[in-house]
């Protein structure tokens, strides 16, 4: 019988400390393969493999495209690249962002679920918003196990809380206890993979392929969901909606993907950016109107100059309204519901 020897982990804000505690909890010679996605800025050099190696018993490395999967290793997604796993090897690709991140937790989790089914154990640690929820849903849907960091101890608990809301979580425990739990789980036989519909399997396959940087439009992604009136915050492409259990997520025809929460955050961020852009344009108009008015006044055309000065003053009033509006513009997401 096959063992549950594929462990995939996702973390974001507060995730470095959680990952350090996680590797500290691992037993010597932990006989499984561990894959880690940590959200980080794409231009920030990552020392995470060295950090995890120094605190835990296993060697950690940045994954390389095409390398074979080995046991007793920790593979970390490099900055600005998705990490996917196939049968026996790792893919490192610069596919479209999911939830505005690359690397994305959902990408790793979904590829593991598609290729390894019930052999997968998914873990979500500290983080904001809900990257990882869709991927964990896929892991559970294929028969794998779901573990989250106890939200009460997570520095930022949005990610584990969102998984708890949408997925039938198997374990919610402190990070310091995860190593002992995993040691017990990986020595058990993997359960049978759940049966899912051919349409669900085809969609999962397509999304894995899209994340590896294949053309989403040519693959026919627009035929896999319901067209919406919304546009992608990344590229302004058409968005379709996709249902997973009780939740809805979105994907555009170029491949970008969003949870409802991340899409809302992206839309409200776009509103702020557009207000700033409009305010900048108005201020440029004010400067031009005042220059024209000054030139007219110097030329002796006082009537026309007065009219242009008046237009400049009206534009200045409009700019002040926008300036006050942008100060109160709020970045929103579904996480606000937790605070209500």
Which residue from 88, 135, 81 is spatially nearest to 108, judged by alpha carbons? 135
Question: How many Å apart are CA 288 and CA 327, to the nearest integer?
Answer: 26
With tokens 């005042």, the residue in question is 290
Residues 83/92, Cβ–Cβ less than 8 Å: yes
CB burial of 220-229 (b: ≥16 within 10 Å; e: otherwise) equals ebbebbeeee
Token pair recorded at residue 112: 């593991």
Residue 229's Cβ-side half-sphere holds a number of Cα atoms within 13 Å equal to 0
Residues 123/8, Cβ–Cβ less than 8 Å: yes
Q: Which run of H or E residues covers position 310?
A: helix 302-328
Q: Which run of H or E residues covers position 249?
A: strand 247-252
**DSSP letters spanning 99-137:** TTBSS-HHHHHHHHHHHHGGGEEEEE-S-STTTTHHHHH
Active site positions, annotated: 12, 39, 131
Mapping DSSP to helix (H, G, I), strand (E, B) and coil, where does residue 132 land? Answer: coil
CA distances from 208 to 135, 204, 211, 220, 260 (A): 11, 6, 5, 14, 20
Residues 120/145, Cβ–Cβ less than 8 Å: yes
Residues 87/114, Cβ–Cβ less than 8 Å: no
């Amino acid at each position: 019988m096959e063992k549950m020897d594929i462990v995939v982990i996702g973390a974001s804000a507060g995730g470095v400390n959680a990952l350090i505690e996680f590797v500290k909890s691992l037993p010597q010679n932990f006989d499984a393969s561990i894959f880690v996605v940590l959200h980080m800025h794409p231009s920030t050099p990552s020392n995470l493999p060295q950090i995890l190696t120094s605190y835990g018993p296993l060697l950690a490395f940045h994954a390389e495209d095409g390398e074979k999967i080995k046991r007793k290793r920790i593979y970390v997604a490099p900055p600005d690249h998705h990490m996917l796993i196939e049968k026996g090897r790792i893919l490192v690709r610069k596919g479209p962002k999911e939830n505005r991140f690359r690397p994305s937790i959902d990408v790793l989790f979904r590829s593991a679920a598609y290729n390894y089914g019930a052999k997968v154990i998914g873990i979500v640690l500290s983080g904001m918003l809900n990257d990882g929820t869709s991927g964990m849903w896929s892991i559970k849907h294929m028969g794998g196990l779901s573990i989250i960091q106890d939200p009460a101890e997570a520095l930022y608990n949005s990610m584990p809380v969102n998984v708890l809301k949408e997925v039938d979580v198997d374990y919610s425990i402190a990070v310091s206890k995860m190593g002992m739990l995993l040691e017990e789980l990986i020595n058990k036989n993997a359960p049978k993979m759940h049966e899912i519909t051919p349409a669900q399997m085809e969609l999962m396959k397509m999304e894995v392929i899209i994340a590896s940087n294949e053309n989403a439009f040519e693959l026919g992604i627009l035929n896999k969901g319901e067209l919406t009136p919304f546009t992608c915050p990344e590229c302004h492409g058409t968005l379709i909606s996709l249902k997973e259990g009780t939740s809805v997520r979105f994907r555009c025809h170029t491949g970008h993907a969003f949870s409802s929460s991340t899409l809302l955050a992206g839309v409200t961020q776009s509103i702020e950016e557009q207000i700033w852009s409009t305010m900048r344009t108005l201020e440029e108009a004010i400067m031009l109107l005042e220059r024209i008015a000054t030139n007219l006044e110097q030329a002796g055309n006082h009537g026309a100059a007065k009219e242009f000065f008046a237009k400049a003053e009206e534009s200045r009033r409009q700019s002040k309204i926008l300036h006050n509006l942008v100060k109160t513009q709020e970045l929103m997401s579904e996480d606000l519901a937790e605070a209500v």
